[in-house]
Every structure is written in structure tokens, then in C-alpha cells.
Amino acid sequence: MKVYGSNLGEPHTSAFGDGLFELRIKGSDGIARVFYCTLTGKRIIMLHSFIKKTQKTPPAERKKAETRMKEVKHDW
């Protein structure tokens, strides 16, 4: 992300709208997801991460990220 920017595109990242993005990472424990947002174009703020166990992103995981994004953008 440091080299190519915050939106790497599929299959590495996807946009959820309103400035919320998801980073996909494969590891020995499974597939991890990291929700993040950007501030002033260059700052990447990691909001929430979890190990994905189902096909769809659980709504509660996305809600945590959305809440944290609002807090970060309010404080910034």
C-alpha cells in the first residue's frame, strides 16, 4: 500500500462506499480482512480486522469499522 496507494483493486482490496475499504490477506489461519479508510489522501487508517469464516462479511464486523471510521474522521 505504501508503494501503490490505498486502493490496490481486486482481488486485494474492495471499496464498501463512503470511504470504507477492505484489504484481503491470506495467511496460515485463514483469510483475514482489514477495514481501513484514508485521511488527506496519504494516511491509511486501519479500523478493524478479523478472520473471515463465512462467504459474506458479517454485518457486525462492518458496523465496527463504520463506527470507528466516524470517530476517526470526527477527531481528525
pLDDT in tens, 4-50: 666 676 777 888 889 999 999 888 878 899 999 988 867 889 999 99
Beta strands in 18-71 (DSSP E): 20-27, 30-39, 43-52
Please give the Cα distance from 72 to 42 (Å, whole number).
Answer: 15
Helix (H, G, I), strand (E, B) or coil at 66: helix
Statement: the pTM of the whole predicted model exceeds 0.85: no
Residue 65 pLDDT: 96
> What pLDDT, on a 0 to 100 scale, did the predictor assign at position 12?
76
